[in-house]
């Protein structure tokens, strides 16, 4: 039951969620840029809402990007450290050597 830390943390799921968030924020940033270009050419709509959402999108993109990089670095480091601590396939001992039914002196 004493599994290494790299096996207990679902790094693949974390990286997948962060990559999806990063992609969505990047796409919304591009969409926001297109809408800003349309609004600047047509002064009827108000731009403050798009500027506010743009700041939120850039913040989400930066935060998820930084977390994505840090998670991948932690995953690589913990995998490397965990591979050094793991030994090869060791046979499982069902009984301790001392718990045998006869002592070595009796034989």
pLDDT digit string (tens) for 59-85?
A: 888 898 899 999 989 888 888 887 666
Residues of 28-41 as b/e, b for ≥16 C-beta within 10 angstroms?
Answer: beeebeebeeebee
Domain-located, residue 66: yes
Q: Token pair of 79, please?
A: 């995998």
Domain-located, residue 86: no
Domain-located, residue 98: no
Q: What is the pLDDT, as a whole number, of residue 66? A: 92
Q: What is the pLDDT, as a whole number, of residue 73? A: 92
- Tally the C-alpha atoms within 13 A of residue 70's C-alpha that lie toward its C-beta: 6
Dihedral sign, CA of 11, 16, 22, 25?
negative
Of residues 56 and 1, the one with the higher pLDDT is 56
Cα dihedral value 17, 18, 22, 25, nearest 10: 60
Domain-located, residue 101: no
pLDDT interval class at 98 (50, 70, 90): low
Count of the separate structural domains present in the chain: 1
Whether the pTM exceeds 0.75: the reply is: no
Instruction: Write out the residue range of the structural domain in which residue 35 sits.
Output: 5-81
Q: What is the pLDDT, as a whole number, of residue 70? A: 92
Q: What is the pLDDT, as a whole number, of residue 12? A: 85
| Cα gap 95→81, rounded to integer Å | 31
């Amino acid at each position: 039951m004493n599994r290494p830390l790299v096996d207990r943390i679902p790094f693949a799921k974390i990286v997948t969620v962060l990559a999806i968030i990063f992609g969505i924020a990047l796409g919304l940033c591009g969409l926001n840029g297109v809408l800003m270009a349309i609004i600047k050419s047509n002064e009827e709509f108000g731009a403050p809402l798009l500027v506010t959402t743009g700041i939120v999108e850039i913040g989400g993109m930066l935060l998820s990007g930084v977390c994505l990089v840090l998670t991948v670095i932690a995953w690589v480091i913990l995998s490397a450290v965990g591979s050094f601590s793991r030994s090869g396939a060791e046979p499982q001992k069902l009984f301790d050597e001392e718990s045998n039914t006869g002592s070595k002196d009796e034989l």
